[in-house]
């Protein structure tokens, strides 16, 4: 099969290569999926799991990408709940070869059925962004109706999902980002927008929940905005500052079939829009994943038409 591989951590996305790799074999409780579309997060190439297995051993050449939508082509021993020919989408294991390929082996429990009226590209754009937003807001942030939420990167792939879900659940949403992102964030449902380049973050006043995808100085300043009993949720590692009278939680997104179904049903019903910035074929993936200009939204790679 054709796949994108990486062998040099220092080279980053510039070190990606399209090459032939052996077809994957399903392990116990796995399925093999013919990948139709795959999502990619550039920070994957800074994750230790991209380069080493669970025992710390080098596993290069690695196939990156952990979001997929496709069709089940084979079942591993003991696999239940899915069938050959079924449309699926989901999130693959961090320490195994990923989805920037024509096929991938993945644990069946990490996948959910993809309804026939949802495009594969849309399905592939949902797992990391959607699950990160869902888990950060509801599991870790314990969002309640009427609370205020500060969403950093509100025009991005994750931030736009956070903005929409928070608004659906009755929160007052303040988005942040660059000046050029203002209208996009407002279109996704933010009530207000703060241009981090020219406007004072502190002017938003106190909030109940901060969803941080930036970290650093922005994360530290955000901690001071948390009201008593509020929460700073981070997906970029432990916060350098903690709220004076609240919680600071960092987390790594986890696969969850039930949550994937909640997310895709909202997409089908028009309550949730995905944020795709660019779509390219697998043959053109290296160039697409090394853009010469800023892309807002997720880049999707199609392995099949």
Least confident range from 37-51, 62-76, 119-133, 169-183: namely 37-51
Residue 250: both structure tokens together: 């960092």
pLDDT value, residue 240: 85
Using one digit for the tens of pLDDT, what is the confidence trace for 44-88?
A: 999 999 999 999 999 999 999 999 999 999 999 999 999 999 999
**Alpha-carbon torsion (276, 277, 280, 284), positive or negative:** negative
Beta bridge partners of 209: 149, 231
Q: Give dist(CA 299, CA 234) in Å, integer.
A: 22
> If pLDDT is split at 50, 70 and 90, which confidence band does 294 have?
confident
pLDDT digits (tens, 9 = 90+) for 240-292: 889 999 999 999 999 999 999 999 999 999 999 999 999 999 999 999 999 98
Return the number of other C-beta atoms located less than 10 Å from residue 128's C-beta. 22
Residue 149 to residue 213: CA distance in whole angstroms: 13
Torsion angle of alpha carbons 141, 66, 274, 297, nearest 10°?
100
Residue 271's φ and ψ, nearest 5 degrees, are: -85, -10
SS3 231: strand
Q: Is the pLDDT of residue 42 over 90?
A: no
Average pLDDT over residues 175-181: 96
**Please, what sign has the CA dihedral across residues 231, 187, 214, 135?**
positive
pLDDT score, position 118: 98
Is the entire prediction scored with pTM above 0.85? yes
pLDDT at 207 over 90: yes
pLDDT at 101: 98
pLDDT at 36: 98
According to DSSP, the β-strands at 111-113 and 172-177 are unpaired
């Amino acid at each position: 099969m054709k796949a994108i591989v990486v062998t040099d951590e220092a080279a980053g996305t510039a070190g990606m290569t399209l090459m032939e790799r052996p077809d994957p074999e399903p392990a116990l409780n796995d399925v093999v999926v013919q990948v139709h579309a795959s999502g990619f997060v550039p920070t994957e190439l800074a994750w230790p799991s991209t380069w080493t297995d669970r025992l710390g051993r080098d596993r290069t050449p690695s196939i990156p990408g952990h979001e997929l939508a496709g069709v089940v082509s084979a079942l591993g021993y003991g696999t239940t709940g899915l069938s050959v020919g079924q449309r699926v989408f989901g999130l693959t294991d961090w320490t195994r070869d990923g989805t920037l390929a024509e096929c991938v082996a993945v644990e069946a429990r990490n996948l959910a059925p993809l309804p026939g009226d949802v495009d594969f590209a849309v399905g592939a754009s949902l797992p990391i962004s959607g699950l990160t937003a869902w888990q950060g807001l509801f599991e870790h942030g314990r969002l309640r109706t009427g609370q205020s939420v500060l969403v950093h990167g509100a025009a991005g792939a994750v931030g736009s999902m956070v903005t929409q879900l928070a608004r659906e659940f009755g929160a007052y949403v303040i988005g942040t980002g660059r000046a050029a992102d203002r209208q996009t964030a407002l279109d996704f449902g933010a009530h207000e927008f703060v241009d981090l380049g020219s406007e004072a973050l502190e002017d938003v006043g106190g909030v109940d929940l901060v969803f941080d995808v930036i970290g650093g100085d922005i994360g530290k300043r955000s901690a001071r905005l948390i009201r008593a009993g509020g929460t700073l949720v981070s997906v970029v590692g432990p916060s350098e500052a903690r709220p004076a009278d609240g919680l600071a939680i960092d987390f790594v997104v986890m696969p969850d079939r039930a949550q994937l179904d909640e997310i895709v049903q909202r997409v089908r019903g028009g309550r949730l829009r995905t944020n795709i910035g660019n779509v390219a074929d697998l043959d053109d993936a290296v160039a697409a994943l090394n853009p010469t200009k800023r892309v807002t939204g997720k880049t999707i790679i199609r392995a099949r038409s």
